[in-house]
Amino acid sequence: MAEARTIGSLPVANVQALAETCNEFKDQVPERYVRTEASSEEVVTGCDSTSAIPTIDLSKLLDPLSSSEECVKLVSACKEWGFFQLINHGVPDEVTRSLMNDMVEFFKQPLEAKKAYSQLPNNLEGYGQSFVVSENQKLDWADRLFLYSRPVEDRDLRFWPTQPASFRHSVDVYSSEVAKLSCLLLEFLAKGMGTEPASLVGIFENQAQAMRVNYYPPCWKADQVLGLSPHSDVCGLTILLQMKDVQGLQIKRDGKWFAVDALDGVFIVNVGDTLEVLTNGKFRSAEHRAVTNTNKERISVPMFHYPCQDLMVSPLPEFVKDDKVRYRSTSFHDFFTQYLKAKLDGKNNLERLKLE
């Protein structure tokens, strides 16, 4: 993906280091991190059936006896929420565990060791930040490591940590499992919508995949900061793995934020802007954000699945039937470039394409 290699983010302080002093000395949170909106909007917590995102069971999708019924649930999750938890996803425990362990170990290292993988000017890969485009914009309470993981020949190993020693291998194995899984989910999504699976799968199969590792340090004034600004993902499907038992992700629905549980062994899957456009808005790319905790760090690892950069992103004919075209077309290259060049701002990048 050429785009992320020509666009950069302004350099900012390392948040993990900042958080250590701020928490130890109970310092005020620096002004650039203070977000008034963080605590002013309603948040729904708890996980009764009305407030939890839907759970989809991949083993049921794969079983001919339960497949159609589970497919209906899958489609409805993507229409109503744009998010679901995936259980029995088939990626072996040792694969997800080693990935998360290696991420934890990476961030535990001294700052100087991590800085060996720092972003370079005009390049979003590596350790640092993204979406910082002006000197006065509010900042997120997090550090990130962003890497292109697929296709394999596009990896830029300068930014791939060699410590812990298993890091590269863990990412390699995990990225391949998750890429397969994303195609399988697209296949069921197409089936569930009564369209030819090849229509969706063909757009994403063997295309680019990127991994963002979000490190959210604790903040003793957690309600004053945001770990990740409200946004939607620009890609097709995102598959996210998070540390167990530490909440942070919140999803916006009907004007409220819904907190997502952090269960062990499940993936959080969400529809990105590109998939919303391709399905003519049948599937929702939901706005989401991450909050931080007062005394626990949190790590999340979303994997983003992109189409080919030459793709003209526009509603597919089979999703427009009996409807009007709801989005103008754009090349994925332009859509992605606009996304990377601006600060994260809800669903703004997608709104620009809406016809009405």
- Per CB under 6 A, does 248 bind ligand OGA? yes
Q: Which of 124, 241, 237 has the alpha carbon at shortest distance from 171? A: 241
Contacted entry of Ni ion, ligand OGA, none for residue 287, CB cut-off 5 to 8 Å set by kind: none
Q: Which of 35, 89, 150, 212 binds ligand OGA (CB under 6 A)?
A: 212
Q: In the numeric block, which tokens belong to residue 288?
A: 């989401």
Least distance to Ni ion from the beta carbon of 238, Å?
Answer: 6
Stretch of residues binding ligand OGA (CB under 6 A), selected from 10-18, 31-39, 218-226, 242-250 = 242-250
Q: Shortest approach of ligand OGA to residue 324 CB, angstroms? A: 30
User: Cβ(78)–Cβ(84) under 8 Å?
Assistant: yes
Tell me: does residue 228 bind ligand OGA (CB under 6 A).
Answer: yes
CA distance 84 to 70: 12
Whole-number minimum distance, CB 242 to ligand OGA, in Å? 6
Q: How far is CA 195 from the centre of its chain?
A: 26
Closest approach, Cβ 271 to ligand OGA, in A, equals 12
Q: Which does 248 bind (CB under 5 to 8 A by kind): ligand OGA, Ni ion, none?
A: ligand OGA
> Contacts with ligand OGA in 295-314 (CB under 6 A)?
300, 302
Q: Are 53 and 258 in contact (CB under 8 A)?
A: yes
CB contact at 8 A, 287 and 230: yes
- Strand locations in 97-182 (E): 126-128, 143-150
Q: Does residue 285 touch ligand OGA according to CB under 6 A?
A: no
- Binding ligand OGA by CB under 6 A: which of 56, 171, 290, 291? 290
Exposure pattern of 133-153 as b/e (b: 16+ CB <10 Å)? eeeeebbbbbbbbbbbbbeee
> Which among Ni ion, ligand OGA, none contacts residue 212 (Cβ within 5 to 8 A by kind)?
ligand OGA
Please choose which of Ni ion, ligand OGA, none residue 272 contacts, taking the beta carbon within 5 to 8 angstroms, the exact cut-off set by kind: none
The sign of the CA dihedral 143, 114, 247, 351 is positive
Q: Could you tell me the CA-to-CA distances from 314 to 188, 194, 278, 350 in Å, in that order?
A: 21, 19, 5, 12
Query: Is 215 in contact with 16 (CB distance < 8 Å)?
Result: yes
- Compare residues 217 and 302 and give the one whose CB is closer to ligand OGA: 302
State in angstroms the smallest separation of the CB of 355 from ligand OGA: 26
**Alpha-carbon gap, residue 291 to 216, rounded angstroms:** 8
What is the nearest approach in angstroms of ligand OGA to the Cβ of residue 249? 3
Positions touching ligand OGA (CB under 6 A) are: 212, 214, 228, 233, 242, 248-249, 288, 290, 300, 302
